[in-house]
Chain A
Amino acid sequence: MTEQWNITLRIYRQKENEAPHFDNFKMEVNPDEYVLDAVERAWAFHDRTICFRHACHHSTCGACGMRVNGVEKLTCITLIRDVTKNGATLKVEPLRNFPVVSDLAVDMGPFYRKMEAVGARPVLPVTEAEIENPPAKWDTDDAQYIRLSDCIECGLCISACPVMATTPEYLGPAPLAAAQDNGIKRKPELLSIVDCEDGVWRCHSVFECTAVCPSFVDPARRIMDLRKQVVGARVRKLFGKA
């Protein structure tokens, strides 16, 4: 039989010209449902004015990032069982470091402009995807196959990054990871975008981005690698090999 929990879903509310507050919804849930299911039901059956972003429900679109009990989560793949208990509260808030449109919905504009500025690759050859347990050997034919890249541009890393909160000008984890993926050798014009105050040197190596990334991108490691690429490019320049 399906397990039933009673929880209090505590949702952040923000409407134009109104003070932000929280609304509580007493709900019966199955702990093996996802947090997004509970939010969607609160909208469908309790309060039709709740605004939230969601689309694919399986971690490919990156629309449903929220803070769940204070931690950045992709709510479509976060089981209720993993973030609360029977009888307890489940607090859901919008991502930090983004302008709030309303309630749980945030404006992705500033973040997407940065992803565009570094030319983040939406698709890449399967042979370039850093997947675990790749086939024993990639067939030469496999190079022609293309797949969607790992970064789903959900913004969890932007919300979790403590440095991001200090200045909105900072490129932030996902854009820097996308620059690393492109590589400065392949795209030399990236050097001036990342080798600056609001680029690769502003990172304080807190690694929160990697901790919350739902999509195996590991932005922190990529930022460290990008620093090496930047230093390498500077050295090459010094010896006139740029």
Chain B
Amino acid sequence: MSKPHVIIIGAGFTGVATAHDLALRGCDVTVVERGDLCHGTSGRTHGLLHSGGRYAVKDKESAVECIDENMILRRIVPQVIEPNGGLFIAIEEGDLDYAEQFIESCEECHIPLEELKPQEALKLEPNINPKVLTAFLIPDGTFDPLRLALAFAGTAKHNGARFQTYHEVQGFLMDGQGNVSGIKVLKRAANKTEELRADVVVNATGAWAGEITNMAGLDAPVKPTPGIMVAYDQRFVQRAINRLNTPADGDIVLPQRRMVVVGTTSFDAENVDYIPVTDDQIKLMLERGSELIPGIRNAKPRGIYMAARPLIGGGSGRSIARTFKCYDHKETHNIDGLVTITGGKATTLRAMAEKTADVVCAKLGITAACVTKETPLLSYRQYYASPN
């Protein structure tokens, strides 16, 4: 019997992790991506392997997802992670007011934390603001965005998944009864269109999920919410440095190779194919970033960029939950053959894939359980090194 064929639209974090999960559960998987891997939001993510500390006070569901997935990723893909931990630091008296609920919430979300005296924090990280009033050590980390995706994609490829990059979806094929039976794609390297049939199509296009569902006449479940990142040319710290307070603009500084990256902001946008960088946001990152690490004032920007988060649910900007949702459009709109996954964080990519693969497998009558928690990923180089 031939394997059921699943097409995944989008080779960002969700798409490649879903491809990995479904390939392990015995599906024939084709991933189509209009650019190369991670050409949208995933490539430009900040790169913070969240401990969940950032969300512990306001969004416990996301915080618990983050700490659980953080520990899993450290195990299955250490090749792309700087697992050096993070500090939440208080600079002003106002930050100290946040400390009590921060400690309680982290404990509630089983996020391990250790309180440090200012001199202890400065011994660990001599370049943080010497006015630090208190600090908490938590298991944050940094990851290389593209290589995280490559490791999932390379392993999926090893297990039989195919990746069709530079293939842009132009519409859905319908079965005559209102259900999705495949996609029409433009092969951009040849300027030709072709049709691909599938038992299930997964829309894993993140901030672009609404544009894809529109092609099937469905409304958008996602709100693209961009933010800026500024990379500076010196590695001032070994750990992620967070401001101890309610999440706000420019309150995280991450080490990344020989740089630090300051982020971010949060605003609503419609078209996110190209998001212009604005001078006021660059200035804000410099001001806020140098409150955490004063040396940033004398460093040079090395790269400046915007990435659009795919947030779901009501509200706007920072008040929207960071958790994710998987929609079977048979249930939401009585259109069979199409599943949309969106929302979430880079840190929770594996969990998003597990949930999506559960929904897809239930539709296909596949009973195989998810094994991605226990499956170490192959070298990220396998994505390019092995044939399609």
Q: Is A55 on the interface with B (CB-CB < 8 A)?
A: yes
Is there contact, CB below 8 Å, between A215 and B257? yes
Q: What chain A residues lie within 8 Å of B257 (beta carbons)?
A: 59-60, 147-150, 152, 215
Q: Which of B37-80 contact A (CB under 8 A)?
A: 37-39, 42-44, 47, 78-80
Is there contact, CB below 8 Å, between B44 and A15? no
Q: What chain A residues lie within 8 Å of B37 (beta carbons)?
A: 55
Is there contact, CB below 8 Å, between A61 and B43? yes
Is there contact, CB below 8 Å, between B235 and A131? yes
Point out the residue from A18, A57, A61, A108 that lies within 8 Å of B144, measured CB to CB.
A61
Q: Which of B220-260 contact A (CB under 8 A)?
A: 229, 231, 235, 238, 255-259
Is there contact, CB below 8 Å, between A49 and B191? yes
Is there contact, CB below 8 Å, between A51 and B303? no
Point out the residue from A45, A113, A152 that lies within 8 Å of B274, measured CB to CB.
A45
Cα distance A18–B189 in the bound complex, in angstroms: 10
Cα distance A15–B186 in the bound complex, in angstroms: 13
Is there contact, CB below 8 Å, between A112 and B385? yes
Cα distance A209–B217 in the bound complex, in angstroms: 52
Is there contact, CB below 8 Å, between B385 and A109? yes
CB distance from B299 to the nearest CB of A (A): 12
Is there contact, CB below 8 Å, between A57 and B44? yes
Is there contact, CB below 8 Å, between A63 and B302? no
Cα distance A41–B273 in the bound complex, in angstroms: 9
In the complex, what residue of chain A is closest to B79 when comparing beta carbons?
A122
Is there contact, CB below 8 Å, between A122 and B36? no
Is there contact, CB below 8 Å, between B238 and A51? no
Is there contact, CB below 8 Å, between A146 and B147? no
CB distance from B178 to the nearest CB of A (A): 29
Cα distance A142–B189 in the bound complex, in angstroms: 47
Cα distance A138–B255 in the bound complex, in angstroms: 17
Q: What chain A residues lie within 8 Å of B385 (beta carbons)?
A: 109, 112-113, 116
Q: A53-77, CB under 8 A of B: which get 1 and which 0? A: 1111111111100000000000011
Is there contact, CB below 8 Å, between B166 and A61? no
Is there contact, CB below 8 Å, between A54 and B39? yes
Tell me what chain A mostly uses at the interface: helix, strand, loop, or mixed. loop
In the complex, what residue of chain A is closest to B302 when comparing beta carbons?
A77
Is there contact, CB below 8 Å, between B303 and A59? yes
Is there contact, CB below 8 Å, between A58 and B258? no
Point out the residue from B258, B273, B305 that lies within 8 Å of A131, measured CB to CB.
B258
Q: What chain B residues lie within 8 Å of A196 (beta carbons)?
A: none
Q: Which of B111-153 contact A (CB under 8 A)?
A: 126, 142, 144-147
Q: Is B93 on the interface with A (CB-CB < 8 A)?
A: no
Known contacts A58-B231, A59-B303, A60-B257; A123 and B43 CB within 8 A of each other: no
Known contacts A63-B43, A122-B380; A135 and B256 CB within 8 A of each other: no
CB distance from A177 to the nearest CB of B (A): 15
Is there contact, CB below 8 Å, between A55 and B146? yes
Q: Which of A2-35 contact B (CB under 8 A)?
A: 2, 15-18, 33-34
Other than the given A58-B261, A123-B81, A146-B84, 9 more pairs (CB < 8 A) read A40-B274, A49-B191, A53-B39, A59-B231, A76-B303, A108-B384, A126-B84, A147-B257, A148-B82
Chain B residues near A (Cβ < 8 Å): 35-39, 42-44, 47, 78-84, 126, 142, 144-147, 165-166, 168, 188-192, 229, 231, 235, 238, 255-259, 261, 273-274, 277, 279, 302-305, 379-382, 384-385
* Pairs of residues from A and B, 8 with the lowest C-beta to C-beta distance, nearest first: A55-B43, A58-B303, A102-B189, A57-B305, A61-B146, A58-B231, A44-B274, A16-B190
Chain A residues near B (Cβ < 8 Å): 2, 15-18, 33-34, 37, 40-41, 44-45, 48-49, 51-63, 76-77, 101-102, 105, 107-109, 111-113, 115-116, 122-123, 126, 131, 135, 142, 145-150, 152-153, 215-216
